[in-house]
Amino acid sequence: SMSVVLSFELAGRVARLTLNRPAAKNALRPEDWQQIATHLFDIQQRSQVRAILVSGAGGAFSSGGDLKTMPERLALPVAVRREQLIRDSKVIQTLHELDLPVVAAIPGVCMGAGLSLALACDLRVCADTATFGAIFHRVGLSADFGLSWLLPQAVGASNAMHMLMTAAVLGAEEAKASGLVQAVVASSDVEQTALGWCEKLA
């Protein structure tokens, strides 16, 4: 694996990508998006990989974009910021358009750009303690990383509008009822359930 921040392992025909910054609830920085991109490129070169499992370590999926890196990003010229955002967002598009089935295992918090990452996967299974939110408005941002397209695809236009405008946080059962996830299981079973789906798909 390139780094402990994002671990990559091959389990038979399943490639496992795990966000691994538990202290930051797997918040995503620009370099993390680029590392995901590198791994996805690598996975596409391996003919034995038939399915991908995306998960988060330490009881979280991802709390979204890392706001701690925001000041330094805001200090950059607008054109540079836009370029970086477009480059990093492309990772979501790559994942969504991948020719392999992708399953997200969501053990806990799944917010903002972390929700984008989950929705770019094809299927999602979460723990009964997981929480979901498109909470960009809380920090004065509009939904980026493809969420304004991915969210209505998953939950319908009016539900997506409600989630975005109110920055509501949904529990696991609500998330399943609205179409954000396909299955809710006990925390201890999330990874195994998702892996089971991947193996079936592979």
Q: How much is the pTM? A: 0.94
> Is residue 119 scored above 50 in pLDDT?
yes
Secondary structure of the chain as H, E, C letters: CCECCEEEEEECCEEEEEECCHHHCCCECHHHHHHHHHHHHHHHCCCCCCEEEEEECCCCCECCECHHHHHHHHCCCHHHHHHHHHHHHHHHHHHHHCCCCEEEEECCCEECHHHHHHHHCCEEEEECCCEEECCHHHHCCCCCCCHHHHHHHHHCHHHHHHHHHHCCEEEHHHHHHHCCCCEEECHHHHHHHHHHHHHHHC
- What is the average pLDDT score of the chain? 93
User: Distance of alpha carbon 170 from its chain centroid, rounded?
Assistant: 16
pLDDT digits (tens, 9 = 90+) for 122-177: 999 999 999 999 988 887 888 889 999 999 999 999 999 999 999 999 999 999 99
